[in-house]
């Protein structure tokens, strides 16, 4: 077993942080680490939280952590920074949380950022969730600013995805357009002390009715983070959906599809690693390419890799 | 030569639209189409425009089209919709443009959306730009909402990337953090009739000074789309940078790196297409996987493909 994973099994939190850095940087040891980590995985509850910048996700997660801690459960949070020039907020959010839960050994918080790694952010984040699971955290939360496909992809590993909205934020139509309804298991109307809550709730109900027929009907929870209102209800709804996923045939189907997707992703990453190294060191690739047809060169290099590259 | 490309060579605009759909859907014929298209490519000017939602990119591009048309040059615009639940605007933007340039044969506008295609949006967009080039458009503009890595990747095919900002939008630090300085060749301060222009310009100057030493110094252009102010200056600056790219050693190096990246992407997509089909039809993949270690299964399936899969 990889030394880092042995240390993780022994509750070495620094080893967990190091292992996450390994997957973030797409280290060559990654697959070995993840295979070993999977062999000691527990049954952590995987929760995803997404929503627009400014929806108050960080503070909401902060409150949720405290709520979960009252049950004595441990919590790991992976905060994903999509490295978007226009996403905003995430760094500050982490700092806020760090201050409050810094001294609590039952809470682990880590941010991840796109490094243009081969596998990409979504893949690295999924591995990070599994590493936290292997460590033994009871609840593992991934928080993303839902600003791109890769952020949505992250949600394809969690058991339950909560979409955080605010009144009058005008997100609803965008949600419908982006097909985020597909991944939404629960809607949180945060900042529910602002005007427009009733209208938003009605629109959500309609969207749910239109898109979720014969499927799990996402609940709608209202929260006011500043007042710590609705946090307990949110936690209950999260547990409710989690139980549904593991009890229902719809849930099992979802887990099965997630697993298949994950296997495909992992294979793609492995291939990419192989081919990347082969091509980078190939003479055809080193010469002046500016006036070369990239499509022809790609085909010929692929053919050559197929012949020699293994 | 592929029939669609023959039709494109004969200025059949419907064939261009169909070919773009082929690459968007990652059709099996894609590589053939693109090889043929590359063989008839002209020397179109590739421009990228990115910026936060609400920066007014669509209207700006709309004005820019009219400006370019005054020189009799033809323009193709690929508007990328990152399928983000929170990006906003893009659909409306297209409609606005369509109305104004609908009847102008010298203008082609197409939106592209993430379809979760294997190659991904960035790859399909680059192919679409090359198809427009093969058709013979003089200027090819790709407009993206800069909300994610894949949107930034798109800029790695254009000759010139303009980053659109607005006063007091608070984007500047995010830009720095996201490393978008790396891809910015020109900054556009749009809505320059709003307060805060001077401050934004000063901050940009500082960022440029900090990050672009011994490299091309991005210019800053102020525009007021509603007044059609600064559009001509913007067009001049775009041409200025374009000339620099093809004249300077820094520019040649950039084109060379872009080409290498593109070849790597194309190879990855081709392999992935092969492996994907192999894995999808493999018995190990069809059985119940929910309790299977995805990391082990991925390794073993990849090994099997390497042995049998060709």
**Which residue, among A54, A148, A297, would best test binding to B if mutated, counting the most B CBs under 10 Å from its CB?**
A148
Contact call for residues A37 and A131 (beta carbons, < 8 A)? yes
Q: Hey, what are A218's tokens?
A: 């996402």
**Which residue, among A91, A295, A296, A302, would best test binding to B if mutated, counting the most B CBs under 10 Å from its CB?**
A295
A115 reaches B (C-beta below 8 A): no
Q: Chain B residue closest to A255 (CA)?
A: B290
Nearest to B298 among A267, A293, A295 (CB): A267
Interface predicted TM-score of the whole assembly (ipTM), two decimals: 0.81
DSSP A203: H
B45: which strand partners?
Answer: B139
The alpha helices in chain B, defined as continuous H runs, are 3-9, 13-24, 30-39, 57-69, 90-101, 120-135, 149-154, 171-178, 197-211, 231-247, 249-280, 283-286, 294-308
What is the predicted pLDDT for the residue at A152?
A: 72
B161 reaches A (C-beta below 8 A): no
E strand or H helix at B111: strand B107-113
How many whole angstroms separate alpha carbon B95 and alpha carbon B168? 27
Phi, psi of B75 (to 5 degrees): -135, 130
B266 reaches A (C-beta below 8 A): yes
In three-state secondary structure terms, A293 is: coil
Instruction: Give the strand pairing for B160-165 and B45-51.
Output: parallel
**Which residue, among A247, A263, A293, A306, would best test binding to B if mutated, counting the most B CBs under 10 Å from its CB?**
A263
Model's pTM, two decimal places? 0.73
Contact call for residues B192 and B222 (beta carbons, < 8 A)? yes
How many whole angstroms separate alpha carbon B36 and alpha carbon B29? 11
How many whole angstroms separate alpha carbon B99 and alpha carbon A17? 53
A251 reaches B (C-beta below 8 A): no
A246 reaches B (C-beta below 8 A): no
Range of weakest confidence among A253-262, B119-128, B157-166: B119-128
Q: Which has the closest alpha carbon to A118: A280, A4, A5? A: A280
pLDDT in tens, B73-111: 999 999 886 544 333 334 444 445 556 777 888 999 988
B149/A121 touch (CB, cutoff 8 Å), yes or no: yes
Closest-CA distance, B101 to chain A, in angstroms, reads: 25
What is the predicted pLDDT for the residue at A146?
A: 61
B38/A148 touch (CB, cutoff 8 Å), yes or no: no
B288 reaches A (C-beta below 8 A): yes
What is the predicted pLDDT for the residue at B95?
A: 45
A172 reaches B (C-beta below 8 A): no
Q: Chain A residue closest to B92 (CA)?
A: A174
Tens digits of pLDDT across chain A (310 residues): 999 999 999 999 999 999 998 988 878 888 899 999 999 999 999 999 988 777 888 889 999 999 999 999 999 999 886 544 333 334 444 445 556 777 888 999 988 865 544 457 778 899 999 999 999 999 999 998 765 566 677 888 899 999 998 997 766 666 665 667 778 899 999 999 999 999 999 988 988 888 777 788 999 999 999 999 999 999 999 999 999 999 999 999 989 988 998 898 888 888 878 888 889 889 999 877 888 899 999 999 988 988 876 5
Q: Residues B243, B244, B245, CA angle at the centre, nearest 5°?
A: 95
pLDDT in tens, B190-247: 999 999 999 999 988 988 888 777 788 999 999 999 999 999 999 999 999 999 999 9
A147/B82 touch (CB, cutoff 8 Å), yes or no: yes
| Residue B18, number of CB atoms within 10 A of its CB | 15
């Amino acid at each position: 077993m990889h030394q880092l994973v042995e240390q993780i099994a022994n509750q070495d939190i620094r080893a967990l942080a190091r292992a996450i850095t390994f997957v973030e940087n797409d280290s060559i040891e990654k697959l070995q680490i993840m295979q070993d980590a999977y062999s000691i995985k527990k049954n952590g509850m995987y929760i995803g939280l997404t929503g627009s910048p400014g929806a108050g996700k960080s503070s909401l997660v902060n409150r949720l952590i405290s709520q979960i801690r009252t049950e004595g459960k441990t919590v790991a949070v992976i905060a994903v920074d999509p490295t978007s020039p226009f996403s905003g907020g995430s760094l500050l959010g982490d700092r806020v949380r760090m201050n409050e839960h810094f001294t609590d050994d039952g809470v682990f918080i880590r941010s991840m950022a796109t490094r243009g790694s081969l596998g990409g952010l979504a893949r690295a984040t999924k591995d990070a969730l599994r590493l936290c699971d292997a460590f033994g955290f009871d609840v593992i939360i991934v928080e993303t600013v839902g600003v791109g496909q890769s952020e949505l992809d992250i949600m394809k590993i969690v058991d339950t995805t909560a979409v955080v909205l605010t009144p009058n934020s005008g997100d609803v139509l965008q949600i419908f357009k982006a097909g985020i309804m597909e991944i939404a298991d629960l809607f949180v109307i945060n900042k529910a002390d602002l005007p427009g809550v009733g209208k938003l709730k009605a629109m959500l109900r309609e969207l749910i009715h239109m898109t979720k027929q014969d499927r799990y009907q996402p609940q709608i929870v209202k929260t006011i983070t500043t007042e710590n209102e609705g946090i307990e209800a949110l936690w209950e709804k999260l547990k409710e959906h989690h139980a549904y996923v593991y009890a229902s045939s719809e849930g099992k189907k979802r887990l099965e599809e997630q697993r298949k997707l994950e296997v495909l992703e992992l294979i793609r990453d492995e291939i990419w690693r192989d081919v990347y190294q082969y091509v980078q060191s190939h003479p055809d690739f080193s010469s002046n390419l500016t006036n070369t047809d990239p499509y022809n060169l790609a085909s010929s290099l692929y053919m050559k890799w197929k012949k020699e590259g293994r």
